[in-house]
Structure 1
Amino acid sequence: MRRSWVEQMMGMPISVLARGDAADSEAADTAVQELYAELEGIDRLFSPYKPDSMVSLLMRGEVGWDQAGFDVQEVCERCAAAREMTGGLFDADLPDGGWDPSGLVKGWAVERAGRRLRAVAEVDWCLNAGGDVLVISPSAEAFTIGIQDPRDPGRVVASLQRSWGAVATSGTAARGAHLYDPRTGDPVQGRWLSVSVSGPSLEYADIFATAAFVAGDDWPTVLLPGFEGLGILADGNMFSTAGWGVA
C-alpha cells in the first residue's frame, strides 16, 4: 500500500510518500501532519523573507543573539562548523554583512522533523523537500531517486536506489545563478550546472552539495568519507565518484 501527501512551505513543495501495510494508518497520517507543523514553525523562525522571523529581527538589530533562542543558536553553531568543515566554501555569512542560514536550515529541519516518521513502525518513507530527498526504509526495500537535468527540469538524467540516507542537489536548475563564492563574494559561474550528493545525513549532503558546486572542478575533494557525488556539466556530460551508484 502507498499513500502520499504534499504541502507548499518553506518556499517549495514538500512531499511525503509512505509505503507498507500501515501507510494508510492514522499513526502515519498523524506523523506527517506533525512533520509539516514542525517545518512550518521552523520556517517562521528562520525565513529571511518573513519580516517577523527571528532571522529578520536579528539582521535588523531589533533583537540580540541572547534573545534568539536555542534553535537559532544551534543553527548558528552548525553553520560555523559547516564553514570550517568545507574550508569556507559553505558560509551563512553574506558578503553584505548579513546572515542567511537557509542553505543549512532546510536539510537540518527536514532531517530533524523526519524523526516523526521514523517513529511509525513498519512504514517506509520517502520525503522530498524541493528535490532534496530523505529515505527511511525499515523493510530495506529501496526507493528510486531521480536526478533532474539542470538544462531541462522536466527530465531525469540519472537515478539511484536508496533504502536509507539522503540525496541533495545544488545548482542552477531551480533558482538560476543564486549561489555565491564566499571566498570572493562573486556569483558562482563555471562549467558545472549541478552537483548531487548522497550520504547518511540530509543536512550534510546539502552542505556538501552547496560547497561542491562552489568548488567547481575540485568538487569531489569536498566530500568526506561516506558521501558520494554526481556532477553534471553544461554540455550534459556527467561525472560521479566511485561509490555513487552503490546502495
Structure 2
Amino acid sequence: MGRVFSFDIHDPVTREVGRAITDSVVWLHEMDALFSTFRADSAVNRLSRGETTVDQCPDVVREVLTLCDEAARDTEGFFTAAPRGSLDPSGLVMGWSVEGVSRKLYAAGARNTYIDAGGDLQLRGETSPGLPWRVGIAHPVLRDQLVAVVHGHDLGVATSGSAERSGHIIDPRTGLPASDLLSVTVTGPHLTQADVFATAAFAMGDLARSWIETKDGYEALAVTADGETWQSSGFPS
C-alpha cells in the first residue's frame, strides 16, 4: 500500500510470537492485494473501474467499506473513501492494517510493541519497565526538525499531510485539495480511528481545532500553511 511496515517488539520472541510475525506479513500482503491503490489488479481499483462488485470480493472488503461509511458519518463527510469519484480507502485501511497486526502480536503474547507503517503507529505497553514509548513528529517541511515528541503506552498515532503525497485529501466543501494545513497528527487509543480523524482534520483545515475537542480520547497537533502550530488541550507531548 505504498508504505514500509516495521515491527519493534520489546518482549521475548517466543515461537508463538515468531509465528504471529510471519502470519502478519502474509496477511499484510493479502491486504495489499485487496486495498492498494498502486496495484492495477487490486480489489479497490477493480471496484473503481466497475470490473467487479463488493459481493464478489472477499468479506473483508465489505467490512472495510462499511467502516469507511461509518467514518464518513462520524466526520460529517470530511472523510470519504471516494475522493473525485474513485475508490480510495487508504485514509482508513492503513491504520486498520497496523492495528490488525498489533492485535495479532498481542494475542500471541507480545505485550510491548511498536508497529509503524510510514508514520502511522500503534503502540502497546512500554519500551522498557516504567518507560513509555516516545515518538517524534517530523515537521512536514523542515524534515530535520521535530514539531513535538509524543509519549504514550497504548496509543495510536496517525499523521496526514502533503509532505509525502500532495493533493490527495479533498476538501468536500470545495472539491479541491485541502490546503489550510501542512500536516495533522492525531493520537488516540485506536489507530483506525486516529487515521480517519487525521484525514478528516486535514480536510477541515482550521475547523479541526475545535472539532477534535469533541472526540473523547483523541487529540491533535497541526502545522498550518503559514508554518504556525496548534494542538488540542490534551495532546500527549
Normalising to structure 1: TM-score of the pair?
0.87
**Deviations 1:13-49, CA, capped at 9 Å, x for gaps:** 11111113x1x44433322222121111101011122
**Maintained 8 Å contact 2:6/2:115:** yes
Aligned to 1:67: 56
1:114 Cα offset (Å): 1.6
Unpaired runs of 5+ in structure 2? none
Distance 2:231 2:86 in 1: 34
Aligned to 1:212: 201
Task: Provide the identity percentage.
Answer: 38
Deviates more, 1:78-87 or 1:46-55: 46-55
> Structure 2 vs 1, CA of residues 29 and 152 (structure 1 numbering), >3 Å: closer, same or farther?
farther
Residue of structure 2 aligned with 1:173, choices 163, 186, 190: 163
Distance 1:201 1:30 in 2: 24
Spell out the pairing of 1:93-172 with structure 2 (5 A cutoff).
93-95=82-84, 97-121=85-109, 123-137=111-125, 141-172=131-162
Residue of structure 2 aligned with 1:12, choices 3, 9, 15: 3
Distance 2:136 2:82 in 1: 32
Distance 1:168 1:210 in 2: 9
Aligned to 1:4: none
1:155 Cα offset (Å): 2.7
**Maintained 8 Å contact 1:88/1:183:** no
1:173 Cα offset (Å): 1.7
**Maintained 8 Å contact 1:126/1:135:** yes
Unpaired runs of 5+ in structure 1? 1-9
**Maintained 8 Å contact 2:125/2:154:** yes
Aligned to 1:203: 192
Normalising to structure 2: TM-score of the pair?
0.91
Deviates more, 1:232-241 or 1:199-208: 232-241
Letter in 2 for 1:32: I
Aligned to 1:57: 46
1:55 Cα offset (Å): 1.4
Letter in 2 for 1:52: D
How many residue pairs match? The answer is: 233
Distance 2:118 2:223 in 1: 19
Runs of 4 or more consecutive aligned structure 1 residues displaced over 4 Å after TM superposition: none
In the alignment, does 2:219 pair up with 1:228?
yes
Distance 2:179 2:227 in 1: 16
Q: Higher strand share goes to which structure?
A: 1
SS state at 1:154 partner: coil
Aligned-residue Cα RMSD (Å) equals 1.8
Distance 1:122 1:215 in 2: 37
> Structure 2 vs 1, CA of residues 122 and 178 (structure 1 numbering), >3 Å: closer, same or farther?
closer
Spell out the pairing of 1:186-197 with structure 2 (5 A cutoff).
186-190=176-180, 192-197=181-186
Letter in 2 for 1:77: T
> Structure 2 vs 1, CA of residues 153 and 33 (structure 1 numbering), >3 Å: closer, same or farther?
farther
Distance 2:168 2:142 in 1: 18
Distance 2:189 2:72 in 1: 20
Aligned to 1:80: 69
Q: Higher helix share goes to which structure?
A: 2
